[in-house]
Amino acid sequence: MRSLLGKKFDRRVAWLREHFPLKEKKRISVRTVKAGSLRVGKKQVQGLTHKICTGHYLVVVERSQLFVATDTLIHEWAHAHTMQRQGIPKDPVYFHSRLWGQIYARIYRRFTKEEP
Ligand SMILES: [Zn+2]
Domain count, the chain: 1
Full residue range of the structural domain in which residue 55 is found: 7-114
Name 20's Cβ contacts closer than 8 Å, sequence gap at least 6.
Answer: 77, 81, 107
Ligand 1 centroid to residue 75 C-alpha, Å = 6
Q: Would 1 be classed as within a structural domain?
A: no
Average pLDDT of the chain is 87
Q: What is the pLDDT of residue 91?
A: 81
Non-local CB neighbours of 33 within 8 Å, separated by 6+ positions: 46, 60, 61, 62, 63
pTM: 0.87
Query: Which value, to the nearest 10 degrees, does the dihedral of the CA atoms of residues 96, 78, 25, 55 take?
Result: 40
Reduced to 3 states, what is the DSSP secondary structure of residue 59?
strand
Cα-to-centroid distance, 116 and ligand 1 (Å):
22
Query: How many Å lie between the centroid of ligand 1 and the Cα of residue 99?
Result: 12
Q: Over the stretch 19-68, which tens digit does the pLDDT of each residue have?
A: 999 998 899 999 888 877 766 555 545 677 777 778 889 898 888 899 99
Q: Is 40 within a domain? A: yes
Q: Cite the DSSP H helix spans in 1-116.
A: 7-19, 66-86, 98-114
**Distance from C-alpha of 59 to C-alpha of 11, rounded to nearest angstrom:** 16
Domain contains 74:
yes
Does a structural domain hold residue 73? yes
